Structure 1
Amino acid sequence: MEGNKEALIELANYKMPFGKYKGEYLIDIPEYYYTWFSQKGFPEGKLGFMMTQMHEIKINGLEDIIKKIRRDFSR
C-alpha cells in the first residue's frame, strides 16, 4: 500500500518535460492532449506510463483526487 501512495504522490507532482505543455503538472494538461497521445502512442518509459495513468484518471473524472494529493503532498 505504501508504494501505491508514493506512486500517486509522484504522479500528482510530475511535470511534462517537453512540448506545448512543458513545465505543466500532468493533471493540469487537458484531456484532449492525452486522447491524442492514446491514438498516436504514448512515449516510452516512465513518462508514457504516467501519461497513460493520467489519461485514465481524466476520462474517469478523478482529477480532484490527484489535485488534492498535490495540495497535501507538494514536493
Structure 2
Amino acid sequence: MLADNRFLIDLAHTKMPYGKYKDRYLIDLPEHYIVWYHQKGFPKGKLGDMLTQVYELKLNGLEDLIRNIRKQYPKP
C-alpha cells in the first residue's frame, strides 16, 4: 500500500484528541473550526498535517471521500 493511501486511511480514522470537539472524527469537525485553525495556524506534526488536509478536502467538497474510506477500510 502506498504511503499516501495509508495517510488517507489514517486520516479517515483519526479523531480530535482535545478541546471542544474531542473524539470527533477530523473530517466531521465543523468547517468554521477548520477555517479558524487555518487562519490561526495548524499545530505541528501529524495532527497539523491531517488538519491541513481536512481543510483542503472541505474547501473542495470532498468530505465524503474520507467517509467512504472509513467505511471501506475498517480501523486496523
User: TM above 0.5, one fold?
Assistant: yes
TM-score scaled by structure 1? 0.94
Task: Measure the CA separation in 2 of the matches of 1:46 and 1:5.
Answer: 15
How many residue pairs align between the two structures? 75
Task: Measure the CA separation in 1 of the matches of 2:41 and 2:73.
Answer: 30
Alignment match, 1:51? 51
C-alpha distance after superposition, 1:13-65 (max 9, x if no partner):
01100001101100111111110001111111111110000000001000011
TM-score scaled by structure 2? 0.93
Q: Could you tell me the percent identity over the aligned residues? A: 56
Structure 1: any 5+ residue segments left out of the alignment? none
CA RMSD of aligned residues (A): 1.0
